[in-house]
Structure 1
């Protein structure tokens, strides 16, 4: 049966199988750390996804006189968590981050690092 298939069809079948195997292997072995462990997301990624829209580079695009950098709310992780749970308007709550200690810690450390940049 395989001998009756034209050479072009065999070549296409071979290419399809090769690409399928390559794609499968690539997806299995090249996942980033946060995809393999969804509870462990880096602070920079959390910041970019949740904060950077208004707080680009640690500033405050809504209230320019109240940047994140140098804020008293960064004196402790507890104050930072309280800010995320009960923020001033129009900032939304981020209880999804404060309920995950690893994410809260990662975001807090990243925000603290902004003043050093």
Structure 2
């Protein structure tokens, strides 16, 4: 994966963000799950960072079994189902006999 050294923990410097999370945890009844907030926020940002070409590349890798479905779902979410439907529709269209759709140019 492009030489990354990610392990199961992603760390970053959080100054004001950390203080804001701690404040929210203090004032919110029952506290907040900061890890869950971070995970959800990271998923949202990962999805927002993808352009259409990136999405296609992720889906193609997923289709070839190069990446796990969980990883593909983090990046694509429900788009996986739509992309599978579009792929199936395209494959069906490619298999159709198009000769019946050809117009008779000579009027015969």
> Normalising by the residue count of structure 2, what TM-score does the alignment of the two structures yield?
0.25
With a CA cutoff of 8 Å and minimum separation of 6, indicate the structure with the bigger relative contact order.
Answer: 1
